[in-house]
Amino acid sequence: MGAPRKGSDDAVHVDEHLEELKRLADTAGAEVIGRTVQRIDAPSPNFYLGQGKVESLKDELASAGATLLLFDESLTPVQGVKLEKSLGVRVMDRTEVILDIFATRARSHEAKLQVELAQLEYLLPRLTRMWTHLSRIRGGIGLRGPGETQLETDRRAIRRKISALKKRLKDVAEHRANQRQGRRDLPTAALVGYTNAGKSSLLKALSGHDVFIEDRLFATVDTLAREVEVGEGYRYRLTDTVGFIRKLPHHLVASFRATLEEAEDADLLLHVIDASHPGWEEQVDTVERELRNADFGLRTGKASPERKRVIYVFNKADLLPDPEGFLALVRETYPHALLTSANPQSAIRNPQWRVEDLRLALRTSAQALRPIAEIRVPVSEGKLLATLHRDAEILEQQQTNGVVTLRARIEARLLGRLRQEGVEVVLG
């Protein structure tokens, strides 16, 4: 069910938005048997829709044998109650559908905590809807008597649970921050993007590790990190973050804060875009808006000169009718954009779409993050020299008076170790 307001941008894209809602319903396990739209100036406070539309919708639902009505817009608790009472079927808005998908897709303990918190915060103002049957007891104005007592008991219990979940997630965030501090030896990149853009597929193609992939919205909601070889001895730690979607419930964004901090802390963002989607530009705007709204200092707007470095990766090149023309077009806006296909079969047929260009971009970035240092080591320190040749990129080497002088690109971890051991190091 879509209800675009007159003259709004949503009215132009209503079919695309409803198609996305259909895909959400499919991911949640529902079978869509029809759709309808009403153009309105503003939502009505009681039903969101007009009274006449509600009456006609009741007949449509009955004739179709439908048991569930999905709204592409967010409903207030009052609107949800009145619609269910008038239509005689279960009513869910877009937010509730997304929360339901996350609940079934979460696998890690952290993700389950995050989803539970978002669900409870969504449920709290809607508890009255669950207790309307008690209105038959003693007239029920304001749900007095046993209904009011139970309702308040439930509210207090949910508030206590929300508080406990926030505390546990805060502990998770602190633990995650400590983990990041302990693994700063590798440069890090976070994969961000619209849901189903192919982030997990790219992670699998780059790392070679088995990663769960499914052609559905929000196939995965758990954070996953993999170390990736990018050539010439360089490695990157790539983190696959949760996908974004238009009208993403703010409860979810807040709950997944600890996960999204992986993107805030990363040296680089890989913004993965479904090049084959007709609305990819709107999807890019949605992702960048959500990152800014998350208030993590992710200055991803194209106008900001101080933004975190972003590589725009246009994926699914194999689904484009003219990949070369498409790339030339997008590079007018994104000069360093890459065009890839994580589909192994299409990469075999069209080697130019392989992820090697992305691997090269990561290697170039790693080189920039790995400072050049001049290191002087006594020739007698054979073990240390072997370590440098193994773990650093040696650019120049010369030996004078029993001292080996190396000019090398070196990771911060090894640089710190050398200084602790009293080795002479000069950056630059």
Are 350 and 296 part of one and the same domain? yes
Which stretches of 241-279 are DSSP H helices? 250-255, 257-265
180 assigned to some structural domain:
no
Residue 294: predicted pLDDT:
65
76 assigned to some structural domain:
yes
CATH number, domain of 36, equals: 3.40.50.11060
Which residues have C-beta within 8 Å of that of residue 426, sequence separation ≥ 6?
A: 373, 374, 375
Are 237 and 141 part of one and the same domain? no
Q: In angstroms, rounded to a whole number, what is the distance separating the alpha carbons of residues 308 and 269?
A: 7
Query: Token match 């075999």: residue?
Result: 348
Secondary structure class of 32 (helix, strand, coil): coil
Average pLDDT over residues 299-311: 56
175 assigned to some structural domain:
no
**Interhelix angle 199-207/356-369, nearest 10 degrees:** 80
Are 218 and 332 part of one and the same domain? yes
Structure confidence at residue 354 as a pLDDT band (50, 70, 90): confident
Cβ-based neighbour number of residue 418 at 10 Å: 20
400 assigned to some structural domain:
yes
Are 153 and 227 part of one and the same domain? no
Residue 188: predicted pLDDT:
87
Average pLDDT over residues 105-116: 82
Are 229 and 352 part of one and the same domain? yes
Are 203 and 75 part of one and the same domain? no
1 assigned to some structural domain:
no
Residue 368: predicted pLDDT:
78
Nearest to 414 by CA among 253, 262, 186: 186
Are 204 and 313 part of one and the same domain? yes
Average pLDDT over residues 314-327: 92
Are 347 and 381 part of one and the same domain? no
Q: By residue range, what is the domain housing residue 272? A: 185-368
**Interhelix angle 382-391/412-420, nearest 10 degrees:** 170
Q: What is the pLDDT of residues 41-50, one digit of tens each?
A: 888 998 999 8
Structure confidence at residue 143 as a pLDDT band (50, 70, 90): very low
Are 81 and 148 part of one and the same domain? no
Are 251 and 276 part of one and the same domain? yes
CATH number, domain of 391, equals: 3.30.70.240
Structure confidence at residue 141 as a pLDDT band (50, 70, 90): very low
Of 345, 368, 391, the one marking the end of a domain is 368
179 assigned to some structural domain:
no
Q: In angstroms, rounded to a whole number, what is the distance separating the alpha carbons of residues 253 and 350?
A: 38
Of 140, 169, 198, the one marking the end of a domain is 169
Structure confidence at residue 145 as a pLDDT band (50, 70, 90): very low
273 assigned to some structural domain:
yes
**Interhelix angle 109-123/257-265, nearest 10 degrees:** 120
Of 327, 353, 368, the one marking the end of a domain is 368
327-355 burial code (b ≥16 CB/10 A, e <16)? beebeeebeebbbbbbbeebbeeeeebbb
Structure confidence at residue 421 as a pLDDT band (50, 70, 90): confident
Nearest to 274 by CA among 327, 336, 319, 329: 319
Are 111 and 65 part of one and the same domain? no
Provide the domain count of the chain: 4
CATH number, domain of 247, equals: 3.40.50.300
The mean predicted confidence, pLDDT, of the chain is: 80
Residue 140: predicted pLDDT:
38
Average pLDDT over residues 47-75: 90
251 assigned to some structural domain:
yes
pLDDT at 353 over 80: no
Structure confidence at residue 10 as a pLDDT band (50, 70, 90): low
Average pLDDT over residues 159-173: 88
pTM: 0.75
Average pLDDT over residues 71-80: 89
| pLDDT > 70: percent of the chain | 80
Residue 183: predicted pLDDT:
53
Q: In angstroms, rounded to a whole number, what is the distance separating the alpha carbons of residues 92 and 245?
A: 17
Nearest to 287 by CA among 305, 263, 315, 320: 263
Average pLDDT over residues 367-373: 80
Are 310 and 363 part of one and the same domain? yes
